A and B are shown apart, each in its own frame.
Chain A
Amino acid sequence: MGPDLWRNMPVVSKLAGARNPLGRRSFLGLGAALTGSLALGAKPGHAEPTQASPPADAPWSQSIGAGVVDRPYGRPSDAEAGVIRRNVPWLTAGTESSVSFSPLQHLHGIITPNGLFFERHHAGRPEIDPDQHRLMIHGLVERPLILTMKDIVRFPSVSRIHFIECPANGGMEWRAAQMNSLQFNHGMISCAEWTGVRLSTLLEEVGLKKEAQWAMVEGADGAHMNRSLPLGKCLDDCLVVYAQNGEALRPEQGYPLRLVVPGWEGNVSIKWLRRIKLGDRPWYSREETSKYTDLMPDGSSRGFTWLIDAKSVITFPCPEKPLDRPGQYEIRGLAWSGNGKVKRVDVSTDGGVNWQSARLHEPVLPKALTKFTLPWRWDGEPALLESRAIDETGYVQPTMTQLRKQRGSNSVYHNNSIQTWQVKPDGSVFDVQLA
């Protein structure tokens, strides 16, 4: 195939020859790149320059790069290969009912790339044929309905930016600082632009009987994962979505169809959604009794604690991204609230003695990640960095001590406390908890 390919590329060969007197070398280089890309795993630009660049041209400046559709879908630079979702092998029995964490230390802005959106599966990731996928809506409705994906896409569409956070995010820190990592302490949150149909539109299309007060939503995965949702939330802002950041949902995120329940704990945003049943009372499924309930110090438990309270975290510096040397920096972070918009974020560099309000970056959207920054001149002295979110309801993100006083340390879920990063004089950063 190689020589034939060349004959069909007169312009490229001419360009390559004209650009570089060593035309043959260039030919070989490009040929190797093309062959390599066909075989997957081309590594252009990794030759060591003989002279520093500048003043020299780097190798990639003296050769022609791979053409369009070399990677018809596209992927990050090979140099970013370490920017991936990661798991904690000792946390779960296997990877099928488990979690992976988004690499927040490498992300910029408020949108999580689709390949880096955190994962939580209860029975692995099903591979669903979209042509065979169906959504059934029945129970206390006037006209039960079964919809194909084509049907669903025909309904009026909306696009909204919302975070999804697993309520167990930070759950490994209830007793003490344990994970020395931004990714593993906070990476079970991600944020995307979701496109689909409002759940209210579908419920109006089937017509609700007046006894209908709750909806049971169920996935097509092996767990047949199901949760109960009060009708008020369903009619308020829930979305039945087929797209994420402009493309079809990823299989890990529920392809071809998932629910998005803005601002509520992630597990109610049922992935691979196949059924919605209307009822008069909640279902008390395993995932809302045995799991996703909060054990309190007195032995009682709270159920149906759906709301994600306001929370924030400094994403730079962090254990994975320490400081180089004293000087001027920008403290960067993310804040969010399931109760609406983030109103303010304060940052402390002395463990919460003094605070300054950070700059919030537009867009500041309800139930979405919000970016904040604060300029900081680091003098090389030890520092204790913290951020504190305040949402539009006036709720203030608590310290770990304040939260533990109410909740004890056996809750597992809904740890929205202030994260403290200890900065040492050498610039290294550690996860700590303060008295």
Chain B
Amino acid sequence: MFSSRKLALLLCAGMIAADGSLARAAEPGFYGYGDQPTPAQITGWNIDVRGDDGVGLPPGKGTVQRGSEVYAEQCAACHGIFGEGEGRFPKLVGGAGTLTHDRPELTVGSYWPFAPTLWDYINRAMPMAAPHTLSADDVYALTAYILHLNDVVPNEFVADRDSLPKVKMPNRDNFIWVDPRPDTMAKPCMNACADPGDIKIVSTAEGRNVTPRTTGPLDTMQPK
């Protein structure tokens, strides 16, 4: 039998643990809900590949040649035969040296910092209408082919878990991974903050005719 003092302490501990704001007091397994996943369950969903070092890449391999075949079948309809992009679907190729231009082209070759990320993204999200249905080998082959289209790897390149992390992407070193903001340190002036004569409209959306209608049914913007 608990003494009333001990019972009070136990209740108190329980209340602290049940209060989200002090949940740090809870031990792992305090609630005990759910199940431990089986190894098969973990393996089935454990698809992530780390971009910078390729941790998580599975066994398998793929050539540029095989990639060109899979690409023609699975990818070209949206991304174009040579990765040039159809309609508004993304270009996969080109844009080297354009990142400082007025109209930069951000592609796998010009922008992506890590090759394993390409494997991961194709594997998890492509092809768009049937994502995560390609074999690991075919994903390796597509990765090799797209890297080759961008002149990042030679024609004889074979993509696998060892080779992909070693591919140095052209834009790899141009990312800053710590947010340097705030960008601006404006002071909130209240009166006569500018010469009224200097206030000029430099651009207007009036008359540009790119804005969909905001009344009535959805505007498909199809020419009538």
> Which residues of chain A have a CB within 8 Å of any CB of chain B?
82, 84, 86-93, 96-97, 103, 105, 122-123, 136, 138, 142-148, 151-152, 154-158, 176-181, 183-184, 197-198, 200-201, 204-207, 216, 218, 222-226, 274-275, 277, 279, 281-286, 289-290, 293, 295, 297-307, 309, 319-320, 344, 346, 350-356, 384, 388, 390, 395-399, 402-403, 406-407, 410, 414, 422, 430-435
Query: Ordered nearest first, which 3 A-B pairs have the shortest CB separation?
Result: A207-B28, A284-B51, A180-B205
Least distance between A137 CB and chain B CB atoms (Å)? 9
The 8 Å CB contact of A290, one of B117, B176, B212, is B117
A204 touches B26 (CB 8 A): yes
The 8 Å CB contact of A184, one of B174, B187, B194, B211, is B211
B193 touches A295 (CB 8 A): no
A89 touches B220 (CB 8 A): yes
Least distance between A385 CB and chain B CB atoms (Å)? 13
In the bound complex, residues from chain A placing their C-beta under 8 Å from that of B185 are: 396
A136 touches B42 (CB 8 A): yes
Judge whether B216 is part of the interface by a CB distance below 8 angstroms.
yes
Give the distance in Å from the alpha carbon of A306 to the alpha carbon of B181 in the complex. Answer: 10
Given A138-B46, A302-B175, A302-B176, A87:B188 Cβ within 8 A: no
Judge whether B20 is part of the interface by a CB distance below 8 angstroms.
yes
Q: Which residue of A lies closest to B49 (CB)?
A: A283
A384 touches B199 (CB 8 A): yes
In the bound complex, residues from chain B placing their C-beta under 8 Å from that of A301 are: 99, 111, 171, 174-176
Q: Can you list 14 A-B contacts (CB < 8 A)?
A: A82-B215, A138-B37, A138-B46, A148-B34, A184-B214, A223-B124, A285-B51, A285-B120, A290-B117, A290-B121, A304-B178, A306-B179, A398-B186, A435-B199
Judge whether B1 is part of the interface by a CB distance below 8 angstroms.
no
Give the distance in Å from the alpha carbon of A435 to the alpha carbon of B216 in the complex. Answer: 35
**Segment with Cβ contacts to A, from B61-69, B125-133, B135-143, B145-153:** B125-133
In the bound complex, residues from chain B placing their C-beta under 8 Å from that of A430 are: 204-206
CB-based A-B contact count at 8 angstroms: 294
In the bound complex, residues from chain A placing their C-beta under 8 Å from that of B113 are: 284, 289
A204 touches B23 (CB 8 A): yes
The 8 Å CB contact of A86, one of B50, B124, B214, is B214
Q: Chain B 1-36, CB within 8 Å of chain A: the 1/0 string?
A: 000000000000000001110011011111101111
B208 touches A180 (CB 8 A): yes
Given A223-B125, A274-B45, A303:B177 Cβ within 8 A: yes
Give the distance in Å from the alpha carbon of A226 to the alpha carbon of B124 in the complex. Answer: 9
A410 touches B104 (CB 8 A): yes
B193 touches A309 (CB 8 A): no
In the bound complex, residues from chain A placing their C-beta under 8 Å from that of B176 are: 300-303
B-side interface mostly: loop
Given A146-B35, A284-B114, A136:B99 Cβ within 8 A: no
In the bound complex, residues from chain A placing their C-beta under 8 Å from that of B156 are: none
B128 touches A103 (CB 8 A): no
Q: Which residue of A lies closest to B99 (CB)?
A: A299
> Which residues of chain B have a CB within 8 Å of any CB of chain A?
18-20, 23-24, 26-31, 33-37, 41-42, 45-52, 78, 87-89, 99-100, 104, 106, 108, 111-114, 117-118, 120-121, 124-125, 128, 131-132, 171, 174-196, 198-206, 208, 210-212, 214-216, 218-222
Give the distance in Å from the alpha carbon of A295 to the alpha carbon of B100 in the complex. Answer: 9
In the bound complex, residues from chain B placing their C-beta under 8 Å from that of A352 are: 193-194, 199
In the bound complex, residues from chain A placing their C-beta under 8 Å from that of B24 are: 200, 204
The 8 Å CB contact of B120, one of A105, A286, A303, is A286
A89 touches B219 (CB 8 A): yes
A136 touches B211 (CB 8 A): no
Give the distance in Å from the alpha carbon of A100 to the alpha carbon of B36 in the complex. Answer: 39
Give the distance in Å from the alpha carbon of A82 to the alpha carbon of B215 in the complex. Answer: 5
B117 touches A284 (CB 8 A): yes
Given A136-B45, A145-B36, A289-B175, A350:B199 Cβ within 8 A: yes
Q: Which residue of A lies closest to B18 (CB)?
A: A156
Q: Which residue of B lies closest to A414 (CB)?
A: B181
In the bound complex, residues from chain A placing their C-beta under 8 Å from that of B33 are: 147, 151-152, 154-155, 205
In the bound complex, residues from chain A placing their C-beta under 8 Å from that of B208 are: 177-178, 180
Give 10 A-B pairs besides A86-B219, A180-B206, A432-B201 with Cβ atoms closer than 8 angstroms.
Answer: A90-B210, A123-B128, A204-B24, A205-B30, A226-B124, A275-B45, A297-B100, A306-B179, A350-B196, A433-B203
B20 touches A156 (CB 8 A): yes
B125 touches A123 (CB 8 A): yes
Q: Which residue of A lies closest to B23 (CB)?
A: A201
B180 touches A302 (CB 8 A): yes
The 8 Å CB contact of B20, one of A181, A198, A319, A396, is A198
The 8 Å CB contact of B34, one of A151, A176, A403, is A151
The 8 Å CB contact of A285, one of B37, B117, B131, B174, is B117
Give the distance in Å from the alpha carbon of A220 to the alpha carbon of B24 in the complex. Answer: 29
